[in-house]
Amino acid sequence: DDGGPQPEKHCGHGRGGMGEEVARKEDKRFITGRGNYVDDIKKPGMLHCEIVRSPHAHARVEEIDGSRAMDLDGVVAVLTADDLLEHDLATMPTLMDDTQDVLVNEKVKFQSQEVAAVIAEDRYTAKDGAEKVEVDYEVLDPVVDAKEALEADAPVIREELDDQEDNHIFDWDTGDKEETERVFEEADVTVEEQMEYQRIHPAPIETCGAVADWDPGKDKMTVHMTSQAPHAHRTLFSQVSGIPEHKVRIVSPDVGGGFGNKVPIYPGYVVAAAASYVLERPVKWIEERSENIQTTGFARDYDMTGEVAATEDGVIEGVKVDVLANHGAYNAAAQPSKFPAGFFNIFTGSYDVEAAYGSLTGVYTNTAPGGVAYRCSFRVTEAVYLIERMVKVLADELDVDPAEIRRRNFIPSDAFPYESATGWNYDSGDYEKALDKALEMADYEHYREEQKRRIEEDADKLLGIGISSFTEIVGAGPGKQCDIAGIEMFDSADLRVNPTGNAVLRIGVQTQGQGHETTFAQIVAEELGMDVDNIVVEHGDTDTEPYGLGTYGSRSTPVAGAAAAVAARKVRDKAKSIAANELEAAEEDIEWDRESGEFHVVGAPDRSITITEIAAGAYMNHPGSEEPGLEAVNYYDPPEMTYPFGSYIVVVEVDRETGEVDFEKFVAVDDCGNRINPMIIEGQIHGGLAQGIATAMLEEVTYDDNGNVTGGDFMNYLLPTAHEIPEFETGHTVTPSPHHPIGAKGVGESPTVGSPPAIVNAVVDAMSHAGTTHVEMPMTPDVVWEALDEAGLAL
Ligand code: CDP
């Protein structure tokens, strides 16, 4: 082995390998309208499914009458829980071992829950039919607030569960409580802040949907569905339906954004499959926007109290956090089953902290189930928000510059691999380097001066500067630690080189817009010296791809990217023996040259051979010592996760009269180890920052006291537009992962994870001279104006 690609040295072999800005292969079909999404799938005889949803958040279903719907021309069936019970499909397991009704059996537990389904010849008739289904409800008192749900007189939502006498789901804790208490008692300074990470929704452009097609001739169920994890979904479908797994095919075609929303299985998929099975015709179910926001996996909804203990010089000694987590009506968080709070216990962040302790209580409420990893690795977003906000609170308490206080506490670059106080093994990092670069790019000192000037002059617009120096944790497995419903989180790649020298790479992960068809081809191009145009990447079809656990938590590059590199290296090993045969030399005398991408005889560089010539040799003149053909498979179980990081600096102008916040400067320095495609990374950063801004400034799923969703459509759930998004200045450092075959870490979610605290820190910073320590997200003008008013700064 030649040691793998080196940081920043691998650019420019010119074949589209590592570090080259290869244009996205998939864009040709997307920009010419040739994408193929679930709703584009049309099958002969296909029926359409529309779901009848509850207007109440908490109610007993007394009676369902579908007769008026059945009278409509074109309505084929009305399904209720009773019909599903006949096929043992009335309930389905969630990814956290709870049981959710597919169609409500007895009691509605959140508004818009699935009560019945109408199947019709076309979508309009199905919708008309759904409006004609009559449901009698006995309305019950709902509880939507997590604190109120724990009160003694709160209505019990999950009374059907044995031993469930209240709305409490679980308690979880991490770290060393006693040691942390000791550190806090002995500390010079302690600070405390309560903060909510509001309920938000991934809101992908494409909502969820499925086309289920039961073939009674082959006894085979094919489901085209919006899936971020087709293989895991195949296993679950088989387990729930009883159809043997080899007779289930899941196809996830082009997917219009997932962001964690398409990891769980939703009732609509199951209803479509059940209807197809019963009616023996293909059935399509496609969600509307409000159904997507109101019923599918939400994210966050953590009410957190953070505490930090430090010396008077601002050296952090201890961190404590207590969380109340609203999980909605079912425990349906999408995260590895051994981690009820996801990776929240990475809340010590980028800092070398002596002692830490975290506790969390999960609660049922009459709200939609969820807790998905929205562009994040299982609750790392909440953890990063907590610690990066607390560092700012401490800096203000001690009157130390927030950049300086970070510098005093960073895990030093020579301390890696580093084990955190809560047991995570960080692979590599150089936090100070990233911060220094960001400070320079942001012209930090200049803005600090300008901030002072505005305060002295009592200006109408205040300036705030916010920093976030976050650490991420991406690339789940290892399989022994991380699983979905018991399946270990490895991933896979299957590489086949054809006789004419081009190749097909099949991977176990499924892209939702991240550009895998390009970057995974680049990994193979780098490792085999092949031209990137000669490699095609296939994914998303369980009949043809190797088993994988799917794309979420930025795990594709750390896990399947590693599998692709290892599979390519296996092919390269075999290629060496074929090269020896072709060049009539001993195998020990053959050397692979990464620069030229060719094999040559040691000491005789002109006696060389390309991978295309080797491919021909593999099929037309294979050495007797080898099997014919040129292919390899790798199932990769990562030894550890990867820990990308970055420093973001945000400068905002806060209008004291209106509470409006304008972005003056937005600097993002990221480090994802060795970079495969800088242009795709740039796109990932831009998109993620936009979603971070959305979280900080605009988005929230809200409920009234009756459990009505008041932020459940795009009129009320404020998605950002180009107008709200500023210019970004991006930069990078490169700290390779020591255990990843190509030194790469994930990157897709860093900006969404890292930017909200930088933005909130900036708004708080504009008012901290007047004593403000926190402003809640989303920081709409009214929220900011209230904070200004409280600080005596409003005009
Ligand atoms: O799992 P997901 O694809 O969402 O996240 P990721 O592994 O962070 O990758 C997002 C995109 O960035 C993919 O196209 C990656 O191949 C690319 N990427 C890269 O070019 N270099 C890296 N070091 C990390 C990711």
Mutate to test the pocket of ligand 1, among 522, 675, 681 (most ligand atoms within 8 A of CB): 681
Give the C-alpha separation, 568 to 528, whole Å. Answer: 7
Q: What is the pLDDT of residue 447?
A: 98
Residue with tokens 């169920």: 221
From residue 569, alpha-carbon distances to 126, 193, 618 in Å are: 53, 51, 16
Q: Which atom of ligand 1 is nearest to the CA of 516?
A: 14
| 316-328: strand order across its sheet | 168-175, 355-364, 316-328, 299-310, 189-200
Q: What is the pLDDT of residue 504?
A: 98
The CATH class for the domain spanning 378-473+642-790 reads: alpha beta
Residue nearest to atom 10 of ligand 1 (CA): 748
324 beta partners:
303, 361
Residue nearest to atom 16 of ligand 1 (CA): 519
Q: Which atom of ligand 1 is nearest to the CA of 749?
A: 8
Which band of pLDDT confidence, cut at 50, 70 and 90, is reported for residue 10?
A: very low
Q: Which atom of ligand 1 is nearest to the CA of 746?
A: 8
Give the C-alpha separation, 147 to 209, whole Å. Answer: 34
Q: How far does the centroid of ligand 1 lie from the alpha carbon of residue 557, in Å?
A: 5
Q: Which amino acid is at 558?
A: P
Q: Which atom of ligand 1 is nearest to the CA of 515?
A: 14
Residue nearest to atom 17 of ligand 1 (CA): 681
- Which residues' Cβ are closer than 6 Å to ligand 1? 514-516, 519, 551, 554-557, 672-677, 680-681, 684, 744-748
92 beta partners:
100
Neighbour-count burial of 227, counting CB atoms closer than 10 A to its CB (0-12 exposed, 13-18 middle, 19+ buried): buried
Q: Express each pLDDT in 362-385 by its tens digit.
A: 999 999 999 999 999 999 999 999
The structural domains of the chain, with segments of one domain joined by +, span 27-35+491-636, 38-140+207-255+262-295, 378-473+642-790
Q: How far does the centroid of ligand 1 lie from the alpha carbon of residue 294, in Å?
A: 30
Phi and psi at 715, nearest 5°, equal -75, -30
Q: How far does the centroid of ligand 1 lie from the alpha carbon of residue 740, in Å?
A: 14
Mean pLDDT of 68-82: 98
CA proximity to 555, closest of 166, 139, 258, 126:
258
Question: CATH topology of 27-35+491-636 equal to that of 378-473+642-790?
Answer: yes
Length of the chain as a residue count: 795
8 Å CB contact between 229 and 484 = yes
Mutate to test the pocket of ligand 1, among 262, 684, 685, 737 (most ligand atoms within 8 A of CB): 684
8 Å CB contact between 367 and 462 = no
CATH number of 38-140+207-255+262-295: 3.90.1170.50
8 Å CB contact between 10 and 17 = yes
Q: How far does the centroid of ligand 1 lie from the alpha carbon of residue 561, in Å?
A: 9
Q: What is the pLDDT of residue 3?
A: 55
- 653: pLDDT strictly greater than 50: yes
DSSP state letter for 24: P
CA proximity to 428, closest of 393, 459, 473, 479:
473
Give the C-alpha separation, 526 to 642, whole Å. Answer: 21
Q: How far does the centroid of ligand 1 lie from the alpha carbon of residue 682, in Å?
A: 10
% of the chain surpassing 90 pLDDT: 97
Give the C-alpha separation, 726 to 442, whole Å. Answer: 14
Three-class SS of residue 125?
A: helix
Q: Which atom of ligand 1 is nearest to the CA of 522?
A: 16
Q: Express each pLDDT in 505-549 by its tens digit.
A: 999 999 999 999 999 999 999 999 999 999 999 999 999 999 999
Give the C-alpha separation, 529 to 506, whole Å. Answer: 18
Give the C-alpha separation, 412 to 433, whole Å. Answer: 10
Which band of pLDDT confidence, cut at 50, 70 and 90, is reported for residue 485?
A: confident
Q: Which atom of ligand 1 is nearest to the CA of 678?
A: 20
- 674: pLDDT strictly greater than 80: yes
Active site residues: 228, 375-376, 749
Mutate to test the pocket of ligand 1, among 556, 685, 686, 737 (most ligand atoms within 8 A of CB): 556
Q: Please state whether the peptide bond connecting residue 4 to the residue before it is cis, i.e. omega within 30 degrees of 0.
A: no
Mutate to test the pocket of ligand 1, among 555, 557, 682, 752 (most ligand atoms within 8 A of CB): 557
From residue 302, alpha-carbon distances to 150, 194, 338, 412 in Å are: 15, 11, 19, 30
Residue nearest to atom 11 of ligand 1 (CA): 514
Q: For 140-209, give the secondary structure using H, E and C.
A: CCCCCCHHHHCCCCCCCCCCCCCCCCCCEEEEEEEECHHHHHHHHHHCCEEEEEEEEEEEECCCCCCCCE
Give the C-alpha separation, 501 to 509, whole Å. Answer: 25
Q: How far does the centroid of ligand 1 lie from the alpha carbon of residue 459, in Å?
A: 44
Which band of pLDDT confidence, cut at 50, 70 and 90, is reported for residue 99?
A: very high
Q: What is the pLDDT of residue 5?
A: 61
Mutate to test the pocket of ligand 1, among 378, 519, 552, 555 (most ligand atoms within 8 A of CB): 519
Residue nearest to atom 24 of ligand 1 (CA): 746
Q: Which amino acid is at 327?
A: H
- 1: pLDDT strictly greater than 70: no
- 7: pLDDT strictly greater than 70: no
Neighbour-count burial of 86, counting CB atoms closer than 10 A to its CB (0-12 exposed, 13-18 middle, 19+ buried): exposed
Q: Which atom of ligand 1 is nearest to the CA of 551?
A: 1
Mean pLDDT over each residue of the chain, to the nearest integer: 96
Q: Which atom of ligand 1 is nearest to the CA of 681?
A: 12
Q: What is the pLDDT of residue 665?
A: 98
From residue 198, alpha-carbon distances to 322, 343, 366, 772, 777 in Å are: 16, 18, 16, 20, 7
Q: Express each pLDDT in 253-309 by its tens digit.
A: 999 999 999 999 999 999 999 999 999 999 999 999 999 999 999 999 999 999 999
Q: How far does the centroid of ligand 1 lie from the alpha carbon of residue 554, in Å?
A: 7
From residue 212, alpha-carbon distances to 40, 298, 337, 394 in Å are: 13, 25, 28, 55
Q: What is the pLDDT of residue 12?
A: 61
Residue nearest to atom 4 of ligand 1 (CA): 554
End-to-end distance of the chain based on CA atoms, in angstroms? Answer: 67
Give the C-alpha separation, 269 to 536, whole Å. Answer: 30
Q: What is the pLDDT of residue 445?
A: 98
Q: How far does the centroid of ligand 1 lie from the alpha carbon of residue 95, in Å?
A: 25
- For residue 375, the Cα-to-chain-centroid distance in whole angstroms is 3
Q: How far does the centroid of ligand 1 lie from the alpha carbon of residue 681, in Å?
A: 7
Q: What kind of architecture, by CATH, is found in domain 27-35+491-636?
A: 2-Layer Sandwich (3.30)
% of the chain surpassing 70 pLDDT: 98
Residue nearest to atom 2 of ligand 1 (CA): 554
3-state DSSP percent of the chain in helix, strand and coil, to 5 = 30, 25, 45
**Which one has a higher pLDDT value, 464 or 605?**
464
Q: How far does the centroid of ligand 1 lie from the alpha carbon of residue 81, in Å?
A: 42
- For residue 8, the Cα-to-chain-centroid distance in whole angstroms is 27
